[in-house]
A = this chain, B = another copy of it.
């Protein structure tokens, strides 16, 4: 008998029909002899509707009250899901983040989990019941106020609970079959991955793959907790996110696991920056003080004649306006010439543990892009990732070219038996 934590997103429980389908799946896991804990998000568009309501009241809702408001969403879905399971003749009880012992910092809207003390969940499991837990929410250690975890919060709740309960697996249910070698909407020949390592998944998530959120993968990695990403609409095996590719698998392991693309970033170039010690630090400190995440940074060698250089960096488009305004305030102090803002860029990333031992990866990648007539504007690398910036209009063409160059394309004959082929 195992202990399984399952997580269902809002699209899986968007209406009564969805609730019932998910309830059947949960009961099946219970009938298989498992103890089952379920983490559930708010139904469909509930969260967006609640945010709309808040915006009708005030342009700047306070974090504490916005968290109180939004947590109503999971409260509704978890109670209905518990009812649906009860209706199938199995005992189920729902628990808020607070009741489930999800203790967080008090940073409303982006709280971090400090501790999980799932005493009530254990009691429910010991009594033979299925425990339904509200995703995305917790209680502040200091103020005892209700908090939310921000983007990807429900995935993080599921993994954190699974770790605290020493679960055998955390199953993340979504509307796709698993993690793919590229976004199937962009690269139709993309294949579902059988396994992907935490490190690879982190790089994929950071590079724009949306199937799992960074925080949840970080959490799973820290506790070495296997995640099984799978579809709530089929019974197909999904993708396992684990520490290492399975024994033997390493030999066959492709160099590249997946290709991620991301159009959500913009590029800012600061032109004519005096090449003095401390200038770059001053600029990026100001950006960091505003809690703006920057991604890639490139600084050219300064021209000897002028002693001036250009600094480019990428950041989420949503934070572009604020960053630009901060930089303008620095212009007098730092003495640069001008700021250029460019939101027509795309980021293409290759991820794979295999590239560590394959020095030709960069050459193959850049060659494929060059053959496709795509210009590379910025480059950034980690041990298992290479990312480049190109024109947004070239991004999808680049993804397809790289997918083919690294022989990731599904064989046309095998592609029809997707779930079974794997890699």
Copies of this protein, total: 2
Whether a CB of chain B sits under 8 angstroms from the CB of A78 is: yes
Chain B residue with Cβ nearest A99: B144
Residues of A357-409 at the interface with B, using a CB-CB cut-off of 8 Å, are: none
Q: Does B68 lie within 8 Å of A86, measured CB to CB?
A: no
Write out, one digit per residue, whether chain A residues 68-89 have a CB within 8 A of any chain B CB (1) or not (0): 1101110110111011101100
Q: Does A54 lie within 8 Å of B75, measured CB to CB?
A: no
The answer to whether residues A69 and B61 also contact, given A16-B53, A16-B56 and a CB cut-off of 8 A, is: no
The answer to whether residues A80 and B69 also contact, given A57-B19, A93-B64 and a CB cut-off of 8 A, is: yes
Q: Does A82 lie within 8 Å of B53, measured CB to CB?
A: no
CA distance A86 to B59 in the complex (A): 11
Q: Does A80 lie within 8 Å of B94, measured CB to CB?
A: no
B57, B64, B76, B79: the one within 8 Å of A80 (CB) = B57
Number of interface residues of A (CB under 8 A): 36
List, in ascending order, chain B residues with CB within 8 A of A92's CB.
65
Prevailing SS type, chain A contact patch:
helix
The answer to whether residues A65 and B53 also contact, given A75-B71, A75-B72 and a CB cut-off of 8 A, is: no
List, in ascending order, chain B residues with CB within 8 A of A80's CB.
53-54, 57, 65, 69
Chain B residue with Cβ nearest A73: B72
Q: How far is the CB of A152 from chain B (nearest CB, A)?
A: 22
CA distance A54 to B94 in the complex (A): 14
B16, B50, B54, B75: the one within 8 Å of A57 (CB) = B16
Q: Does A57 lie within 8 Å of B94, measured CB to CB?
A: no
CA distance A206 to B69 in the complex (A): 36
Write out, one digit per residue, whether chain A residues 33-63 have a CB within 8 A of any chain B CB (1) or not (0): 0000000000000000010011011101110
Residues of A121-138 at the interface with B, using a CB-CB cut-off of 8 Å, are: none
CA distance A69 to B19 in the complex (A): 14
Chain B residue with Cβ nearest A70: B79
CA distance A110 to B54 in the complex (A): 31
Q: Does A76 lie within 8 Å of B58, measured CB to CB?
A: no
Whether a CB of chain B sits under 8 angstroms from the CB of A66 is: yes
Given A54-B79, A75-B75, 4 further pairs, Cβ under 8 A = A50-B76, A58-B86, A65-B79, A69-B75
